[in-house]
Amino acid sequence: MVEEEWGEGLIRSWNQAGWYVAPARIGAKLCPLLGAKPHEVTITESISINLFKLLVTAARLRPSRKTIIAEHGNFPSDNHIVESVARLLGLKARFVPAGEIAAAIDVDTGVATLSHVNYRTAEVQDMTAVTAAAHAKGALIVWDLAHSTGAVDLRLDEARADFAVGCGYKFLNGGPGAPSHVFVAERHLDFIDQPLTGWFGHAEPFRFDDGYRRAEGIRHMLCSTPQMLSMAAFEKALDAFAGVSMTEVERKGRALGELMIELYDERLAALGCGLATLREGVRRGNHVSFTHRSGYAVMQALIQRGVIGDFRAPDVMRFGFGPLYVRFVDIYDAVSAINDIIESGAYKDEAVGERQAVT
């Protein structure tokens, strides 16, 4: 990519190396993981940007309705975007706990948005049931699949999902800032009118017309020139999933989580750790989180030992499992290390005063 397609090919590679069609090509590769059709998925920009596009798109499809319902406690970026979209369109944003969204949707709700798997608790929402509840009231749903794609067995079409965004840099291993993915159900494709009308979503960008004419289908969801180096890394990472059954991936991830919770009960519960994820396997996505009052310091000490998880303020230590390569022995070793660090008090040696910018 760097030496030949970029170094030698330069702009010729937009045609010759298939850069121009990369968003659609990679989207088609991803669709088996989403349970979607190839023409319903494209790869572009970030989750937050795509969420913005989809929320406005959905609200424009329900112009007489004045409320957006979102999840209290969702990943903050999502709710920041919801508030901005509401302000921009003169709508009311209403936040309720995820489990209450289906019941909260009423005839004034144009669009609801929530995470399929919660970023802290790993709680999985019943996509089919929530979608059906929204549709019964005439509302549309935008799903955030950040903690779902590549981790659980998604069936977007079967669930009658309307819209979704997902992440390239978590379970899909696309690298830092890897492009995200956008899903629009086939039945909406002819009617979408997304707000970021950049030239890559134009029907014929290289005619350089003054006016915007939207591209047919999912390509209208594009805005800017694709970041090709990130796209190339993401495509290769995705190839690792080729031919892999997501049912098996989900099963392995769940078994890894079960083991971690079992070991938590045996070794960590008595040490001041709490379990922040659900126990019930079928309602839990692919990460396990523990709370500890010195969670930041414990995580820093773990990282020193090569066990690398996330810290989510105020006190959550989160461990995500890539089921394709994380082994059961890795879980055992991670819990042993947490046990050791807390029991010995080694975490107290960590310089907790100065938190790094990224935790």
Ligand X SMILES: Cc1ncc(COP(=O)(O)O)c(C=O)c1O
Catalytic residue among 29, 65, 120, 170: 170
48 binds ligand X, rule: CB under 6 A: yes
End-to-end CA distance of the chain: 32
Q: Which residue in 32, 62, 77, 304 binds ligand X (CB under 6 A)?
A: 77
Smallest distance from ligand X to CB 77, Å? 4
Separation of alpha carbons 176 and 51, rounded Å: 19
Q: For residue 325, what are the CA distances in angstroms to 298, 328, 348?
A: 24, 10, 32
350 binds ligand X (CB under 6 A): no
| Cα 192 to Cα 214: distance, rounded to the nearest angstrom | 9
Distance, CA of 258 to CA of 186 (rounded, Å): 37
Q: By C-beta, is 20 or 119 nearer to ligand X?
A: 119
- Tell me the window of 40-48, 153-161, 208-216, 290-298 that interacts with ligand X (CB under 6 A): 40-48
Instruction: Point out the catalytic residue in the list 20, 78, 120, 144.
Output: 144
DSSP string, 173-197: ---TT---EEEE-GGGTTT---S--
Which member of 14, 20, 75, 183 binds ligand X (CB under 6 A)? 75
Residues 337 and 302 sit within 8 Å (Cβ to Cβ): yes
Main-chain phi, psi angles of 343, to 5 degrees: -60, -40
Which position among 22, 24, 96, 146 is part of the footprint of ligand X (CB under 6 A)? 146
For residue 332, the minimal CB distance to ligand X (Å) is 27
Q: What backbone torsions phi and psi does residue 314 show, to the nearest 5 degrees?
A: -90, -25
H or E segment to which residue 140 belongs:
strand 140-144
Could you confirm whether 144 is annotated as catalytic?
yes
**x-or-dash string of contact with ligand X, 100-129, rule CB under 6 A:** ---------------x---x----------
Residue 209 among the catalytic residues: no
Task: Clarify whether 169 is annotated catalytic.
Answer: yes
Q: In terms of CB distance, is 179 or 201 closer to ligand X?
A: 179
Which residues participate in catalysis according to the annotation? Answer: 75, 144, 169-170, 318
Residues in contact with ligand X by CB under 6 A are 46-48, 75, 77-78, 115, 119, 144, 146-147, 180
